[in-house]
Structures are given as structure tokens and as C-alpha cells.
Structure 1
Amino acid sequence: MIPIRLPKYLFFTVTFLLLFGCKNDEKEKKSTKRKSDLEYAMLPLEDSLPKLSAAYTNTKKRQIEGFFENNFGRGFENVSFLVAKNGQIIYEKYDGYADKENNILNSPETPLHIASVTKVLTAAAILKLIDAKKIDLDQKLTTLFEGFPYPDVTIKTLLNHRSGMKKYNYFCDDKAIWGRNKTLTNTDLLNVIITKDIKLETKTDTHFSYNNTNYALLALVIEKVTKMKYAEAMKKIIFEPLDMKNSFVFDENTPKEKATPSYKYNYVKYPFDFLDAVYGDKNIYSTPRDLLKFDLARNSPDFISKKLADQVFKGYSYESRGEKNYGLGIRMREWESGQKLFYHNGWWHGNTSSYINLRKENTVIIALSNKFTRNTFQMKRLSALFGDYPFTLKDTTSKDE
């Protein structure tokens, strides 16, 4: 057979097309691999982040361990704690009891109540729905819930705590409105707001007021838009696609024995009360390792559009001077230097939690406890080990929540 000789320009053209075609095939395979049943599901980060050197990891591990032991090693029982950079765990520790009565210890697989860190996950689901154009950031709740009495309240004013609504725990314990003797659900709360003439505390979008009512309603927005219960929606949007196997929502349908107990400082167990079925503002149980998976996906460029992300990570409340602020589902510290810290803390019954997201440094610090302590809130001081954050590792006097 006589060999076919291609002109040089054709040879390079064919070679280019073959190589480009292979790359497109790889890209297509990768894209197909990342598809989910839901167009608005969160997807795990697939891009590889730089690997940490052994020297860097060992140095940071010693520093973190020293901070932890010096400040919390004595008397800080019941903790699940993790620090990771570039998705790589530098240090983690699990101490104390998941269930003291049955002598069950905390472990990396023990789901603890993450309290108000739940708000970060609720906000993430809402942002995915906004990014998928299922709802609008400035959409009014009157378009979603018939009879909703506050015409100016929007998705945004719920996310940034500027709705002006009253905190549900401040009025639902009133017998004339609801009372403490029957379990309150999110649907019950919405009906109370619609039927009981609950006045706004302040005019909408004029003041910041941290308020669990906002996120209980956002959970109902998720249900309305997805046509799934919040527990199922969070499973489909976040937990399953991110392989968060030890995370779940506790609601009125969840067996009480599934919930990891929480304790007062002296190991007296907290009983369930009438507000324990309300979700969205709280009631997600998770682990530091699961929350690390969530953090990586939340910081991925594929999470939401840059335009929407820019609105998430900025402050909205400047009525009074100070460094504290709130974005869309995340607390903030803003310093005059221009440095910003993004975090969220939580406290419900004996559960305290802290999620610190150092965006520039690709670092996350997560602390959960099911035995009451304020020490959980001090973990943000470890930020100073990774960037120019004005904290000292020795000062543990702050009571910031």
C-alpha cells in the first residue's frame, strides 16, 4: 500500500482538531459526570486545590493544637472541631459524649445540632434557587404566601435580617397567640403571622435585627418553590450531591431519638420544648467533615454566578458604626484595613457552633459542641494563623455569638 502523505498544513490542522476534540470530549465527560437530578443542586468542588506541604501542615497543626489545649483543653468537654485549608484537614478533635446517659462518645460521624449555622445552609439553598431563576432576590413574600401581611418584606430582607419582623419566640409563647403546650411548626408560624395581627417591630429595610423568624420563613419559601418538605429539599439540594452522609434536618416528623442530646454545663440534659420543630433557622444536625464538604462547594466558582456572589459577601447594615455586619446568610467583620472575616455562630439549648470561612485563604474552621460552652465562639481567633486578621490567640474574653 502506498502511504498517504498529507501536506504539512493539513497535518497540523488534523492534529489540532484531534487534540481539541479529545479535550472537548474530556470536558463533556466531566460536565456529564457533574450533572444532578436537580438543576439547582449544589455540586462538589472538582478542581484540585494546591497540596499543602508536610512542613506547613505540621507547623499549623502544632499551633492549632497548642491554642486548643491552652485555652480549651481543661473543662471543654464535648467538642467536634476541625481546621482545613485547600480541603485538606490540618487538625481535628472529637471529645466528650454524644450521649452521656448511654456512654456514647462523640466521633467524626456523630451529627451534632449546628444551631444557627443552619442559616448558612438555608441561605445556600435559597441562593441556588435564585441562581436557577426559580425565585428573585427582591421577590416579595406576598407573591408566595396568600395573606402575608408585610408588603415590603422580600427574600433579600429575610436573608440579611432587615425584614423588621418580630422574633417568633417573643410572641408564640403567648397563650392568646399560640402557647407553650403545643409544638409549633413552620406552617403554624406562618398562619400565626397571617391571622394574629403580629405587628412589625421596625419598618422593613431600615434596621438590622438578627431574627430566627426570617429563616423559618425562608425554609417555607424553599418548600413552596421545590414542592418538597424542607428536610427532603435540603437532602436533594445539598446533603446527597455533596455526600454529606451524616447530616439531616430534624422536624416534626423526625423521631426524637434520632437527635443527639444536648446538655447544660453540668451535664443536665435539655428537654424538648415547643419550638424544637421549627427549622431553617436551626435544626440541621451535621459533622465538621460534612460541613467541610459543604464549605468547599459553597466556595466553588460553580456555586452561584459572580454577580450574585458579590451580593452575598457584602454588608447591608450601616445605620450604626462598627465592624460587625451581615451579608446574605453570613455574618461579617469589616475592618478599616479592608480585611473581612466571614463566619456564623449558633446557640440552641446546650448546642453551640461556629463556622469560620476564610475565603481568601481557602481555610475553614468548624467547632460544634452539644454541652453548653461559649468557648466555641473563640475559635475565630485561629484566623490569625492564616491571614492578616486582628485577633490574638491569647485573648479569650470575648462573648461574641
Structure 2
Amino acid sequence: MRLSRYITLISISLFLSCNKDKSGKDGKTNDTLLLADKYEVSLPKLSKKYLTENKNYAENFYNKYYNPKDYSGGFLVAKNGQVIYENYSGFAYKEKGWKIDAETPLHIASVSKVFTAVCVLKLVDEGDIELDKSVQTYLPTFPHEATTVRMLLNHRSGLRNYAYFTDDKGVWDKKNTLTNQDVLDLLATKPIGLESKPGTRFGYCNTNYALLALIIEKATGKSYPEAMKEMIFEPLGMKNTFVFDNLEKKDEVSQSYKNNYLRLAFEFLDQVYGDKNIYSTPRDLLKFDIATYSDEFLSPEMKTEMFKGYSYETKGQRNYGLGIRMLEFETGQKYFFHNGWWHGNTSSLVTLRKEKVTIIALSNKYTHKTYKTKKLAPHFGDYPFKFKDEEIGAE
């Protein structure tokens, strides 16, 4: 374990947003320590003029595309770790009257994959996992020797999605709750088969990240929720973030809804984690995103592996790194993000690496509005998206 990971760096202050709104903020600007001492990052403080001008722009953007009277969730825009604008509205549990505010954890769906990937990469930094080792090295019953840890991370394993193969006749009784270990056991004992030869093409698949959670457990000797808490959540001060792993506690967390606020029931797939099942807040996600700029949190080598594309068998801008989606433009600019969708929960985390801008939208009432985050990126950098004139919005 490298001792340098415990050296304290220069601190950064997080400026929480300035306006009083439905979240009950008091209209004052506070200086709040962003990260625990171990992983602090130094980024320039934004001018008051910049904050004011961009706060107005982001607020207008939010009101235009999200409609706080109908949106149920959280929205946040930040640069250099400083919040420019945030807003919270709707209900975490409408039947109980639980309103959403800045400290309400919501299900972040597949944005959870970014956390799983970073945890694996941190374990690679520590020498506990090797990216190009066979998955069988860590999970001996896994049936495909050619599949590596890296292939799980970049979705080139060729595996089938567990949400689909559990529908196959005789594979799983849906009266029983599925676990991560069950996913592995089914792959090992049932004729599940592959979608493609490992390493030959991209195929987004939740099974990859369910298995990565098991590899984390094998490497750490701890449960995935415990490993995430000790390696990421607690060190970064993410006090409102956790892994949901117990359906018996389903009434203790925020619920998910159809777009008419009809509550959606939990089901037999809702205890599998790694690919989903992290609950968090925009403020906590911001802490995580800023930490990824720290060389003490994640080595430069692992960041390079994470933020590069791996799938070039077909032409186009879309690609996938290790736990992160990207669009690679001919200009050389890269747009990094990850979206999520599970039941009524939708999520979007945008990390503009060049500009140090973070854009986050979470919702627990089904909507595609969450993914409008992309429309805000050209305001902060040279992202050559082509939108209709009426969709861009006024400066």
C-alpha cells in the first residue's frame, strides 16, 4: 500500500448555493470543507461575477427544461467544486409526505457503476486486483476463462444481462430474491451462454458490474456495501450515500414512481448491487467527482485507463471507458458522463474534465428530463452538440 496516499494536500472549500428555494436554503454562502484531509484537491476560487452570471444561466436552464412544479429530484451545477446552482423538489416518499431536499438520498441507478469502477481501480492501485487477469482468478466458478476484469469494466465481456437470462425457462424462480452470488452461480451452473466472444465488441451489460461487486468483496474480504463505505463514502464525507442491500428495509428509503406519482413496487432484482443500488445526493456526487481529480484518491495511471475509449470496432462518437461513458469529437474534445435508469429512477452525472464542471440531475419520478444535462455542456466548453435553435436557450 503506497504511503503517499495518506499525504494531506491543499484544501478546497465548497461554496454551497446562494438562493433560498424549496430545499429551505437560507440565502447565505457558506464555506464548507469539500473532502476529508486525505483526498483534498486545490482548484481556483471562482469570482463573484462568474458565480452570479452562471447561477442565473443555470437557474434559467433549470426552469426551462425541468419545471420544478413537476420535477421530483435534485439538480446541481458546479465548477471547481463550487456550487453554482442547485434545486430540490418533489417527494422521496409521497405517501409518507417525505419531501426531497439537499440531504435526501435518491437511487442513482447505473451511475452506481462509476463508483464500482473507481473502487476496483483503487484496489488495482493497491495491488489487490489486476485489470488484465481472468475473472476466474478472483471468482473461480466463473465459466469463461478469457474474460478479464478490464472486460467487465468496459463492457466487452460478451456476457448476457442477468435481468434477461433470469427470464429463461428453468433458470430462476422470480418468487425468490436474486443476489450477486446467485448471478455468479447461475452463470456457473446454467447454460446461459454468451452474446459475443469476450473482447470482440462493446455490449452494455449489468451482469458485468454485479460480478465486479463480488470481485471487490473477494479482494477486500468485506461486503460491497462495507467496502464502498470504507474506501469511498466515509473518506470523502459522503454522509448521505449508501448501498441498498436489504429488501426488508425497502420502506426506509426513497421510493420510485411513474410520471403520475404511481409508486412502483420493489422486485426480485432489487437486491443486486454494483450495477445499481447506490443511493446518494447531488452534493455527495459532487464530492466524489472532485475527488477523481486527486492523484491521492486515484492514481494518474488509473485515471488514464478510466477516461479513455476501448471500443472502436464501429465508427462514431460514442465510447466507453472503465465505468464512464464518453463522446469523442473530431475536435479532440471529450464529453464524459454516465446516465442511469432503474424503475422510476433516472440519473445523470456529467463530468467536464477540461473545464472542471460537474452537472448532476437525479429523479425518482420517471422522466427523460434528467438527461437534459447534455444541453448545458456547451455553455461551459467547446462541446459541438447540435441542438435546434429553440432548444439552446438564451444566454
Query: Could you tell me how far 1:392 is from its partner in structure 2?
Result: 5.8
Q: Is the 8 A contact 2:161 2:206 kept in 1?
A: yes
Q: Is the 8 A contact 2:9 2:37 kept in 1?
A: no
Q: Is the 8 A contact 2:102 2:283 kept in 1?
A: yes
Give the residue type in structure 2 aligned to 1:334: E
Query: How has the CA–CA distance of structure 1 residues 74 and 247 changed in structure 2, closer, same or farther, with 3 Å as cutoff?
Result: closer
Partner secondary structure for residue 101 of structure 1: helix
Q: Check if 1:144 corresponds to 2:105.
A: no
Superposed CA deviations along residues 208-256 of structure 1, whole A, max 9, x for unmatched, are 0000000000000000000101011100011111111100101136611
Structure 1 distance, partners of 2:38, 2:76, is: 19
- 2:55 aligned partner: 61
Q: What aligned pairs does 1:102-113 form with structure 2 within 5 A after superposition?
A: 102-113=96-107
Structure 1 distance, partners of 2:55, 2:196, is: 47
Q: TM-score, normalised by structure 1?
A: 0.86
Structure 2 distance, partners of 1:360, 1:43, is: 24
Q: Check if 1:226 corresponds to 2:226.
A: no
Query: Could you tell me how far 1:371 is from its partner in structure 2?
Result: 0.2
- 1:11 aligned partner: none
Give the residue type in structure 2 aligned to 1:337: T
Q: What RMSD in Å do the two structures reach over aligned CA positions?
A: 2.1
Query: Could you tell me how far 1:75 is from its partner in structure 2?
Result: 5.9
Structure 2 distance, partners of 1:44, 1:369, is: 31
Q: Check if 1:101 corresponds to 2:101.
A: no
Superposed CA deviations along residues 62-102 of structure 1, whole A, max 9, x for unmatched, are 11111111222266420201111111000000011111111
Partner secondary structure for residue 96 of structure 2: coil
Give the residue type in structure 2 aligned to 1:130: V
Query: How has the CA–CA distance of structure 1 residues 273 and 253 changed in structure 2, closer, same or farther, with 3 Å as cutoff?
Result: closer
Q: Is the 8 A contact 2:68 2:89 kept in 1?
A: no
Query: How has the CA–CA distance of structure 1 residues 357 and 128 changed in structure 2, closer, same or farther, with 3 Å as cutoff?
Result: same
Superposed CA deviations along residues 132-182 of structure 1, whole A, max 9, x for unmatched, are 111101011111122221011111000000000001011113350113211
Structure 2 distance, partners of 1:87, 1:127, is: 22
- 1:31 aligned partner: 7
Structure 1 distance, partners of 2:254, 2:229, is: 19
- 1:338 aligned partner: 332
Runs of at least 5 residues in structure 2 that lack an aligned partner in the other structure: 11-35
What percentage of residue pairs aligned between the two structures are identical? 55
Q: Is the 8 A contact 1:184 1:275 kept in 2?
A: yes
Q: Is the 8 A contact 2:148 2:157 kept in 1?
A: yes
Q: Check if 1:273 corresponds to 2:267.
A: yes
- 1:14 aligned partner: none
Match of 1:179 among 169, 173, 178: 173
Query: Could you tell me how far 1:321 is from its partner in structure 2?
Result: 1.0
Query: How has the CA–CA distance of structure 1 residues 32 and 311 changed in structure 2, closer, same or farther, with 3 Å as cutoff?
Result: closer
Structure 2 distance, partners of 1:385, 1:356, is: 13
Query: How has the CA–CA distance of structure 1 residues 393 and 242 changed in structure 2, closer, same or farther, with 3 Å as cutoff?
Result: farther
Structure 2 distance, partners of 1:112, 1:396, is: 32
The structure with more radius of gyration: 1
Q: What aligned pairs does 1:228-267 form with structure 2 within 5 A after superposition?
A: 228-252=222-246, 255-267=249-261
Q: Is the 8 A contact 1:43 1:297 kept in 2?
A: no
Query: Could you tell me how far 1:308 is from its partner in structure 2?
Result: 2.4
Structure 1 distance, partners of 2:222, 2:9, is: 25
How many residue pairs match? The answer is 363
Give the residue type in structure 2 aligned to 1:89: V
Runs of at least 5 residues in structure 1 that lack an aligned partner in the other structure: 1-27, 35-41
Structure 2 distance, partners of 1:355, 1:209, is: 21
Q: What aligned pairs does 1:3-14 form with structure 2 within 5 A after superposition?
A: none
Structure 2 distance, partners of 1:72, 1:199, is: 42
Give the residue type in structure 2 aligned to 1:307: E
Match of 1:51 among 35, 45, 49: 45
Q: TM-score, normalised by structure 2?
A: 0.88
- 2:310 aligned partner: 316
Structure 2 distance, partners of 1:322, 1:379, is: 21
